[in-house]
Copies of this chain bind each other. A is one copy, B any other.
Amino acid sequence: MISSADRIYLDNNATTVLDRRVAEFMSRAISVDHLSTLGFNPASQHQEGRTARRCVEDARDGILSALKCRTKGMESDRLIWTSGGTEANNLALFGLAQQHPGAVIVSAIEHPSILESAKKLAMHPSQRVRILPVDSHGIVRLDILEQWLHDDHQLGQPVSLISVMVANNETGVLQPIEEVIKLGHRYGALVHSDAVQAIGKIPLSFALMNVDALTLTAHKIHGPIGIGALILRGSLTMEPQLYGGFQQLGLRPGTESSLLTTTFQEALRIALLQQSTTANQMRQLRQNFEVQLQNELPDIVIHGAAVERLPHTSSIGFPGCDRQAVQMALDMAGIACSTGSACASGSSQPSHVLAAMQVSDELLQGSLRFSLSRFTTAEEIDEAVKRIAASVRKLKRQQLFSFSTSNPTIG
């Protein structure tokens, strides 16, 4: 039974908490002994170092296999460990653009780590960067992408790199990434995709997608914060963004952590164990959430509801509400949710994703993101709906009151 004092965590797109099994895996790894096998430097040549190296390489192979990458032969795909999604996205954008000169296209709904990197890239006078718009459902405009690829090709200034995410982190809307990749490749462009929110939620095959680079991070799949990866297709070359030792073929120097890398692999292994079951379960709960909330508050708008979305993400506009006031009221009522990407918090700007979808200003001001995990329960969803409905109604009454007192008609 959930009590009114219990908190309900619906901000799993900001971060997920450690899966209990992942936490136990980590604890075991660090508590084996004072001289744990996981504690050594994988770059060291001695036995201790080689053991750590094996852990790191097994984790690398494990993730590559789990995501159906090519792990054999000359054209094996490569996984580069990073400190997380932000670093992997930076590495992809700068590393590929620097090695493969040409125009760059990123979608308007990318994570700040892609959009801000693209802005930085565009500061080079010779670098052309364009922002691909989305339609009102939040899906990238393939027609415009094709037009741009075609025009640039005709101009003799071909596009060398496209970055479009697998699914959006705010709305959950799936992007037509296969089509983006086919189009890109037809015109000789590389395609990078940020799969941070999609991994573990929908089936993904690196080889089938035929993508050139893919960003992952552990902490969105109930793994630890501080470890992510960029997967690179076959023998694709890129410029490193850090300089130093020989680690990871010099593409990303710095001591690799066998603890974090093996834990990342374990988190992914668990996330994929029953992916379709947990996805269906989350989709059902999200459906209950949205339907019940619409019953309670008929004027709400669910962004991207008409198209395919990740099963656990719900972006909702509360007309006439201020998103920050609602978020704070819900926090007081024991519900953790967000006004957009946690990486964009601190910003008082409304969501760039919803703005790109041309959502009306009223809805833009009043939109919040609710994101479930495989640990979210039906009871939590029912209780969350009650609390949200009550909080929003209360806020609206207060607004009405403050409006009527601050604008007295009888004076």
Chain A positions near chain B (C-beta within 8 angstroms): 7, 9, 11, 14-15, 17-18, 20, 23-24, 26-27, 30-31, 34-36, 39-41, 43-49, 82-87, 89-90, 111-113, 116-117, 119-120, 219, 224-227, 241-247, 253-260, 327-328, 330-331, 335-339, 341-347, 375
- Cross-chain contact A225 with B259 (CB below 8 angstroms): yes
- Given A26-B30, A119-B243, 9 extra CB contacts under 8 A: A7-B48, A11-B46, A48-B336, A83-B226, A83-B254, A225-B259, A241-B241, A245-B345, A246-B347
Contact A112 B225 (CB under 8 A): no
Distance A259 CA – B34 CA, assembled complex (angstroms)? 19
Within the complex, which residue of B45, B225, B244, B247 is in contact with A256, where a contact is CB–CB below 8 Å?
B225
Query: A246 to B9, alpha carbons, bound, how many Å?
Result: 23
Q: How far is the CA of A261 from the CA of B31 in the complex (A)?
A: 19
Taking CB as reference atom, which chain B residue is nearest A82? Answer: B83
Q: How many copies of this chain sit in the oligomeric assembly?
A: 2
The answer to whether B35 and A259 touch across the interface, beta carbons within 8 angstroms, is no
In the complex, are the beta carbons of A242 and B112 less than 8 A apart?
Answer: no
Q: Which residue of B lies closest to A219 (CB)?
A: B255
Is B17 a contact partner of A245 (Cβ separation < 8 A)? no
Taking a contact as CB atoms under 8 Å apart, the answer to whether A27 and B31 are in contact is: yes
Q: Which residues of B contact A24 (CB under 8 A)?
A: 31
- Given the complex, which residues of B lie within 8 Å of A375, measured CB to CB? 34
Residues of B within 8 Å of A35, CB to CB, are 9, 17
B344 engages A243 (CB within 8 Å):
no
A338 surroundings in chain B (CB, below 8 A): 44-46
Chain B residue at minimum C-beta to C-beta distance from A258: B225
Point out the residue from B26, B34, B242, B327 that lies within 8 Å of A45, measured CB to CB. Answer: B327
Q: Does the CB pair B343–A43 fall under 8 Å?
A: yes
Residues A116 and B44 in contact, CB atoms below 8 Å apart: no
> Across the interface, which residues of B come within 8 angstroms of A242, CB to CB?
86-87, 90, 113
Which of B82, B85, B331 contacts A46, CB < 8 Å?
B331
Given contacts A46-B327, A84-B255, A226-B83, contact A120 B246 (CB under 8 A): no
B residues near A244, Cβ cutoff 8 Å: 86, 89-90, 111-113, 116-117, 343
